Amino acid sequence: MARTYYFPSVVIMEPGAIELIAPEIKRMNVKKALVVSDQVLVEAGIVQDVLNVLDGADVPYTLFSDVKPNPTVANVNAGLQILQENECDFLVSIGGGSPQDTAKGVAILATNPGDLRDYEGVGKTANKALPIVAINTTAGTASEATINYVITDEERKLKMVIVDPNCLATVAVNDPVLMLKMPKSLTAATGMDALTHAIEGYITVGSSRFTDLFNLEAIKVISGSLRKAVEDGDDLDARDDMAYGQFVTGMGFSNGGLGIVHSMAHQLGGFYDLPHGVCNAILLPYVTAFNADAVGDRLKDIALAMGLDISRREPKEINIMAVDAIKKLSKDVGIPAGLKELGVKEEDFGKLADFALADICTGGNPKCPTKEDIIAIYKAAF
């Protein structure tokens, strides 16, 4: 069956990449940018690094830096109002998944009528978003490369997953120099988020030979460089590897889909306002174990990509080794051991499971879960 794959029109990578955005903006024939970011990146000086490039190229802009860690519908609406009041006709997003996803929501609502809730699901907009220059500052979500974005509906206390080719960034930028200032905890959480994308993207029912290339490469690179990036945040080679790995899997999972690690993590983030990468990291080994008997030799491929010696091992033993390797990597980079440490409550598991089953990512899981299965995984990860 024929398939369509979506990628950003322009990709700029490696140290010093932000210096190359000005010529791309000039080619876009746009007038004024809404720069979307958050206060943490403003205070860290990273936003100013980008603004200096815009100033040097005489690109006018207005800054919107009130993005929340788990951006909400209200957050997106606030950004849209500022964009319209200042007559901006394109966006420059600076940050990890939160600013990137917020910018996508703003850019979509600028060209499509109604409320963002109208577009929850797959491909519901009629018009392409305003152009976005997406400058990534974390090695995690790969939102700068994907057709997905996630916004919290604060009224329902859940994360809306929106899959829409119309939100795809025009220019995707990964400059590892911008990532040198990331703290250890954020490096670990975003790195495990990227590994989750790669592993889920490799075993999802929507995978293909094309997406497999990206996801296996990402598993290899991320598992080999994340510990170094966490241990020494100034290791530019490790940062460069992580920026590459997370971007590569972004191109993979964006075109293949994910599974119930994300379905379950979305509910934890929406219900408790928890960091997405940490939730993914805690759930990943338990969901991988749940899926093991439904993915053929794919955990063997994952084990090899993670550098494990699986010679003379039986298939079931290899599956266990792969799961254990995920747990060890997560522990080594300082991820909390279980959901209990995050303040999750067992009495909420039933409600969380209901929402997880309805999440768009659940359809991509290689093994169809029941509500009882989801609750059992939450309990195992508790």
Same topology, domains 10-179 and 184-380? Answer is no
pLDDT at 2: 85
Q: How far apart are CA 95 and CA 245, in angstroms?
A: 17
Architecture of the domain delimited by 184-380? Up-down Bundle (1.20)
Q: How far apart are CA 312 and CA 57, in angstroms?
A: 60
Q: Could you tell me the residue ranges of all domains in the chain? A: 10-179, 184-380
pLDDT at 150: 94
Architecture of the domain delimited by 10-179? 3-Layer(aba) Sandwich (3.40)
Q: Which amino acid appears at position 161 of this protein? A: V
Q: Which burial class, exposed, middle or buried, applies to 131 when counting CB atoms under 10 A from its CB (0-12, 13-18, 19+)? A: buried
pLDDT tens, residue order, the chain (382 aa): 789 999 999 999 999 999 999 999 999 999 999 999 999 999 999 999 999 999 999 999 999 999 999 999 999 999 999 999 999 999 999 999 999 999 999 999 999 999 999 999 999 999 999 999 999 999 999 999 999 999 999 998 888 999 999 999 999 999 999 999 899 999 999 999 999 999 999 999 999 999 999 999 999 999 999 999 999 999 999 999 999 999 999 999 999 999 999 999 999 999 999 999 999 999 999 999 999 999 999 999 999 999 999 999 999 999 999 999 999 999 999 999 999 999 999 999 999 999 999 999 999 999 999 999 999 999 999 9
Contact 120, 62 (CB under 8 A): no
pLDDT at 158: 85
Q: How far apart are CA 256 and CA 235, in angstroms?
A: 32
Q: Which amino acid appears at position 312 of this protein? A: R
pLDDT at 157: 85
pLDDT at 181: 83
| Ramachandran quadrant class, 71 (left: phi over 0; alpha: psi -120 to 50; beta: rest) | beta
